[in-house]
A and B are shown apart, each in its own frame.
Chain A
Amino acid sequence: MIATEPLLSVRNLRKFFPVYSKGFFQRRVGYVKAVDDVSFDLMPGETLGLVGESGCGKTTTGRTILRALGPTGGNIMFRANGETVDLATIPGRHLKALRPKMQMIFQDPFSSLNPRMTIGQIVGEPLVIHKMAKGRELKKRVVEMLIKVGLKPEHAVRYPHAFSGGQRQRAGIARSLIMHPSLIIADEAVSALDVSVQAQIINLMEDLQKEFRLTYIFIAHDLSVVKHICDRVAVMYAGKIVELAETGTLFKDPKHPYTKALLSAVPSPDPDVKMIFELTGEVADPGNLPPGCAFNPRCPYVRDRCRQEMPSLREIEPGRWVNCHFDEELES
């Protein structure tokens, strides 16, 4: 594989959910534009962070890339076994063969683990479905994986309800990693974990990344974690990427007004440093966006042009993308 070729190229990805009227004759009255014109490249072995307001479309972006949801539009070029395929249009039977290559680690470990299966069955299930191991070999790989994520062999025979939230999250990670996929979308994978276990899981994810050359899309709310693990970060607002840059650059010098607001809301672990964050206005509603820039009702730098004309994502420096009319004029 040539390193300069992206593992994943997402172009103009859209996912709209129809909204229906109340009553017997349900008419479509509009769309929730959960993902709207999202484009980015992902290099093999890279970690891209995806951050943004709750409901801005991060999970939907991830699920659409993995084709858990059918896209409304756009291309999802994915490199597997030496060739590039468009996941957006690939027929179902080909998609099935690619599934082991891409895995998701979920946000909500409670609803993603089947309560009627033991942890061992859950972790081993992908191997069974894809007929990649059985019997003693299956057991061995499950136990190895459990140990890798910090669970114990005896946990294999227990059911999810007997586990704490963090333990369930570990089981979810074990399940996603057991197929040795090339692309992993980790959706809030470490959010439910306390800092020490979180540190272990992050270290583990980094080790596995090196070992198997894994590529991650890392969706998270905790910006200190994102800063630690990600090479680049994409900030989303109301279904669109509003800023994309190398991690260090983004944290040092955020350009988009929403990114600035987001970074200012990070609480300090020092009780004497009080949060002074104040982002007013209503959370963006992807089913009912204002004309122009979606952030305009809350933006402290708003001008007339922002209320009329929708900005687009522009490359302002090599590798640095911003979706704002006035980014050059805002003081850093």
Chain B
Amino acid sequence: MPETSENVLEVKNLKTYFFTDDGDELRAVDGVTFSVKRSGILAVVGESGCGKSVTAYSVLRLIQKPGKIVDGQILLRTTDGKIIDIAELDEKSDELFHVRGGLVSMIFQEPMTALSPVHSIGNQICEAILLHQDVDKSQAEKIAIGILEKVGIPGAAGRMKQYPHEFSGGMRQRVVIAMALACKPQLLIADEPTTALDVTLQAQVLRIIKDLQAELGTSVLFITHDLAVVAQMADEVAVMYLGRIVEHSDVRSVLKNPRHPYTRALLKSLPGMSEGSERLPSIEGSVPSLMEIPDGCPFHPRCPHAESGLCDVGGPPSLQKIADGHYVACVRVEEIKAL
């Protein structure tokens, strides 16, 4: 993909592996390349376990032992034109602190990853604000109440002294969203931010993220498995399978004219608001374990179009350009066009 100055984030050939005690090497993310445009929203979708969260954690260097980023670049371009390779930063450097604390913020898939069970909700948000904004304690408290209200926590002022266990699942998730927004980041990484929310709150949170994008030019790396949310939010979509991107294009092409058999199968398994009670189509089999990644195309054991001697040999197919801005990693992409 072309390197342009409008990209806030360029991830190149990222490889993040986990090393087990038995000496196995689990290639959770294996050569992923993508970029996020300034003020753009890139959605990353794909089956559970395909490496979406590991990719997100890698961008913030949050991978812990036995995991390690073994290769690749993570280039962050700040508004003042500086380029930081996050992959190269020292663990304890001020720069990395700055990246995590202000430039990039993350909404975690599991709200309890970001919340401490022993501190009140109010204290935790205020702490995040005090860390990144030059305000005093009482101002921080006001700001905190303001964002809690914005993300739809009812009676926000009265809830500041409550603890996470006194909040419902969706309320916890909204607190985490509030904390991420408090930092006014240039890049927001949102890992399944609305999975725990009902559709009305989901609509509200999606609106907040869009507003943030419009007001501050925030770019968003949006991880989700909800294709309807993708349709409503994303400019571009990257589809992952077994640690690799298998299709990448603008949202309309991916959802309306998917070309990779995996993307097509994903779209088919949507329950759909109109259908009756027949069995849901799902993709045959399950994602192989990372310990036994198939030869050739990693999707071939489950692919209805797999051809032996072609799809099951050699290394994994690489992304090919099949149309302007549309990339697909499938060796049969031209032949199965008409299907």
Chain A residues close to B by CB (< 8 Å)? 17, 22, 51-55, 59, 107-108, 110-111, 150, 152, 154, 162-167, 169, 188, 191-200, 202-203, 206, 221-225, 227-228, 251, 261-262, 265-275, 277, 279, 282-285, 287-288
Q: How far is the CB of B292 from chain A (nearest CB, A)?
A: 9
A55-B168, A271-B232 known; A193+B225 contact, CB < 8 A: yes
Tell me which of B113, B232, B286 contacts A275 (CB under 8 A): B232
| Beta-carbon contact of B158 and A287 below 8 Å | yes
Query: Are B200 and A262 neighbours in the complex by a CB distance under 8 Å?
Result: yes
Chain B: how many interface residues by the 8 Å CB criterion? 68
Tell me whether A54 and B168 are in contact (CB under 8 A): yes
Q: Are B231 and A267 in contact (CB under 8 A)?
A: yes
Instruction: List residues 152-186 of chain B with CB under 8 A from any CB of chain A.
Output: 152-155, 158, 161, 166-171, 174
Nearest to B255 among chain A residues (CB) is A271
Which chain B residues in 201-223 approach chain A with CB under 8 Å?
A: 201-203, 206
What's the nearest-Cβ distance from chain A to residue B127, in Å?
19
Q: Is B324's CB within 8 Å of the partner chain A?
A: no
For B229, what are the chain A residues with a Cβ–Cβ distance below 8 Å?
A: 267
Of the residues A227, A262, A269, contact of B227 by C-beta under 8 Å: A269
Given contacts A110-B112, A282-B154, A283-B153, contact A196 B269 (CB under 8 A): yes
Q: Are B48's CB and A193's CB within 8 A? A: yes
A199 in contact with B282 (CB, 8 Å): yes
- In the complex, 17 of the A-B residue pairs with CB atoms within 8 angstroms, ordered by the A residue number, are A52-B198, A54-B198, A55-B168, A59-B169, A108-B169, A150-B286, A166-B47, A191-B195, A193-B48, A194-B46, A195-B227, A203-B282, A221-B198, A222-B199, A222-B271, A228-B277, A269-B267
B169: chain A residues at CB < 8 Å are 54, 59, 107-108, 188
Answer whether residue B53 sits at the interface, using C-beta atoms and an 8 A cutoff: yes
The CA of A277 and the CA of B201, in the complex, are separated in Å by 11
User: Does A53 contact B277, Cβ atoms closer than 8 Å?
Assistant: no
Q: Which residue of B lies closest to A220 (CB)?
A: B198
Q: Which residues of B contact A (CB under 8 A)?
A: 18, 45-50, 53, 109-113, 149, 152-155, 158, 161, 166-171, 174, 192, 195-203, 206, 225-232, 251-252, 255-256, 265-267, 269-273, 275, 277, 279-283, 286, 289, 291
Would A271 and B251 be within 8 Å (CB), given that A199-B282, A265-B199 are in contact? Answer: yes
B266 to chain A, nearest CB (A): 6
CA distance A55 to B279 in the complex (A): 31
